[in-house]
Amino acid sequence: MNTKKKMGMLQRRKMVGWFFLIPGVALILALSFYPAIRALITSFKTGTGVNMTWCGLSNYIRIFQDKVFLQSIKNCFFYLIIQVPVMLIMGMVLATLLNNPKLRCKGLFRTAIFLPCATSLVAYAIIFRSLFATDGFINMLLVKIGILENGYNFLAHPTSAKIVIIIALIWRWTGYNMVFYLAGLQNIEYSVYEAAKIDGANPFQIFFKITVPLLKPTILMTAIMSTNGTLQLFDESVNLTQGGPANASITMSHYIFNKAFQGVPNFGYTSAMSFIILIMVAVLALVQMKVGEQRD
């Protein structure tokens, strides 16, 4: 009888668990999986509205002939290769410094570094646009200290426009990643660092031999998230450089938005481009996970 009662209680608990899971699962299916499946089907069609017709792989073939989209891929990987490593390294270094129990006003410093990522995406893009304008603060400072004779239009030149986007991204997201590293560091016993110091390890040895290896799972997670976010970059391209000059700084998401909602909409083609981004994100995440496993 006791066994039957226990089995009955376990079944009821499972039923209660499923009861609480069903609403969340239903929302995920309705708002994520169903639209994704519909978008995949749409990517094999052409036309607008109810007049869309099946076109097979023509949208995917067109992608590799679209010079603007290929340029947007190059731009996103340019941001990825430069911005992500710099941001993650800075976040780790700042987290290590702010994890020191002897440091005073840690809360103030942590808040100050984290605050940029709480700023509105549109607001911070507009701020950086005004900072790097021809008559903006950066130009005024460079002219005063004698580096430039006249104001330089950073947003009107391809390379400098990309660099401005990278600087903006580093400013906004470094603190976000720092929080993850701080959480990871606080799970490491401080006695490990004290023992290393007693053994004569210098700060660089402690950082590379203790901090980095123990933070490996967190580093992998932040690298995957940062890669995902950079390949889907949108707000900075739209609000900071408007994709210019001449599409030199445009991102894939920005170009997809333009093709979908400006001029004649082409949802079949834009759906195909979206799935190309999905494939890129999945492949890079898989590569990063495999690299992480090999270093164990």
Tokens matching residue 194: 């004290």
Q: How far apart are CA 69 and CA 67, in angstroms?
A: 6
Q: How far is CA 12 from CA 1, 15, 22, 135, in A?
A: 16, 5, 15, 69
Cα–Cα nearest to 226, from 101, 91, 121, 112: 91
Least Cα distance to 78 among 166, 209, 180 occurs for: 166
pLDDT in tens, the chain (296 residues): 556 555 567 777 778 778 888 888 899 999 889 999 999 999 998 877 667 788 888 999 999 999 999 999 999 999 999 999 999 999 999 998 888 877 888 888 888 999 988 888 888 888 899 999 988 899 999 999 988 888 888 998 999 999 999 999 999 999 999 999 998 888 888 788 888 888 888 888 888 888 888 888 899 999 999 999 999 999 889 989 988 888 999 999 999 999 988 877 888 999 999 999 999 999 998 888 887 776 55
Measured distance CA(87)–CA(225) in Å, rounded: 12
Mention every residue, 6+ apart, whose C-beta is less than 8 A from residue 205: 196
**pLDDT value of position 208:** 85
Q: Note the pLDDT of residue 8.
A: 67
Q: Are 238 and 256 in contact (CB under 8 A)?
A: no
Match 């069903």 to its residue by tokens: 22
How far apart CA 231 and CA 114 sit, in angstroms, is 22
Q: What pLDDT is attached to residue 223?
A: 92
Q: What is the pLDDT of residue 195?
A: 85
How far is it, in rounded angstroms, from Cα 218 to Cα 229?
A: 16
Looking at residue 181, its pLDDT comes to 93
